[in-house]
Structures are given as C-alpha cells and as structure tokens.
Amino acid sequence: MLSSFPSPANDYLRFPIGRPQLPAAPLTPTGRAPYLQQLAEFPALLKAAVERAGPARMEQPYRPGGWTGRQVVHHLADTHPNLYSRFRLALTEDNPTVRPFDEQAWATLPDVAVTPLAVSLALLESLHARWVILLQNLSEAQWQRTFYHPRYQTTSTLEQALVQYAWHGQHHLAHLGLLGQ
C-alpha cells in the first residue's frame, strides 16, 4: 500500500506528476525494479529533455516564480550526490541523521549561471551509474536500513528513499517538459 503527501489543489505546475507515493510496506525485488530502472535511465532522459528544450528555453522558468531549466539541471547535479550519500551513510551507520541543505540558495549560487549544462549532465551520468550498481547489490535487509531527515522529522528506509528519489528525477523531467508551454 502506498501513502502520499498531502496535495494542495491546483499545484500542477509545481507538481506536474503529483506528489510522491511512498510504500507503507516493504517492496519485493520485483516491486523495486521499476524505480531502479528509473534511476538508471534518468541521465539519458534528462539529456534528451535538455536537447528538446533547446538553449533558449533552458534559460526560462518552467512556471511563474519557478526555476529556469538551467537551475533545474544544476539542482539535480547538486541534489543527487547528496541523495546517493544518504544511502551510503545508512548502509554504514545506524539510522544516521542526514544533513539538509538550502536548495533555493544553492540554485542561485554564481556557478549555476555560468557552468555549462554538459558538466552537470556528465556528473549525473557517472553518479547514477555508480548509484544503480550499489542498489542492485543490496540485500533485503539492507533495503530496510534507515536514515533520519531532521527538516521533515522523518525516518525513511532505503526502499522508501528509492521510491522518493526516483520520483524526484521524474518530477524534474516533467518540469523541463513544461518549458515553453
């Protein structure tokens, strides 16, 4: 059974694929497979989305008050290494507390405006290759290891994190699909 985060009405532009649906009970290996596939395919799908949008639209926000396509891509390159590290921490420590960061502030740092998108795309391609290899080799017990997120005051299993982080990639792919609409 899946549980969802509360969803305010009319937030399609902010959450074009809806809010994440987290598993309430452990998944089987077959149940995890689609999420692992999403993580594996994500870098190629992101690169294709950037190419479809084109350079001019990547400089536009995907919604009023939202990030530009450029900021979204660099946000992914900022966030996904942190997400990968959470897995490694949970696998090597007992219920570690992960460190949150100010995503909005990171999206406005000066490197975001000048770093070529190809740099972040390459980072994500390598990171996801390594991340997926790690995940494909976890035991059933390791999938149930946990970490604590102080901003949300939640403890998540690695399995729940897999679902949420696969959603995160699809969520931002959908944002890039909104560019120019």
d(CA 21, CA 84): 20
**Residue 43 CB-density burial (10 A; 0-12 exposed, 13-18 middle, 19+ buried):** buried
**Domain for residue 8, yes or no?**
no
CB-based contacts of 158: which residues, under 8 Å, 6+ apart? 87, 90, 91, 138, 142, 143, 144, 145, 146, 147
**Domain for residue 11, yes or no?**
no
List C-alpha distances in Å: 128 to 67, 72, 73, 116, 121.
Answer: 23, 17, 14, 19, 11
**Domain for residue 1, yes or no?**
no
Range of the domain at 95: 30-177
* The token pair that represents 148 in the structure block: 């604590």
**Helical pair 69-92 and 117-136, crossing angle rounded to 10 deg:** 30
CATH of the domain at 41: 1.20.120.450
Nearest to 42 by CA among 76, 69, 79, 6: 76
Beta bridge partners of 2: 23
Per-residue pLDDT of the chain (181 residues; tens, 9 = 90+): 343 444 454 588 899 999 999 887 899 999 999 999 999 999 999 999 999 999 999 999 999 999 999 999 999 999 999 999 999 999 999 999 999 999 999 999 999 999 999 999 999 999 999 999 999 999 999 999 999 999 999 999 999 999 999 999 999 999 999 996 6
pTM (global) more than 0.85: yes
**Domain for residue 73, yes or no?**
yes
Determine the distance from the C-alpha atom of residue 40 to the mean position of all C-alpha atoms in its chain, rounded to a whole number: 12
Roughly how many angstroms between the first and final C-alpha of the chain, as a whole number? 35
**Domain for residue 134, yes or no?**
yes
**Domain for residue 58, yes or no?**
yes
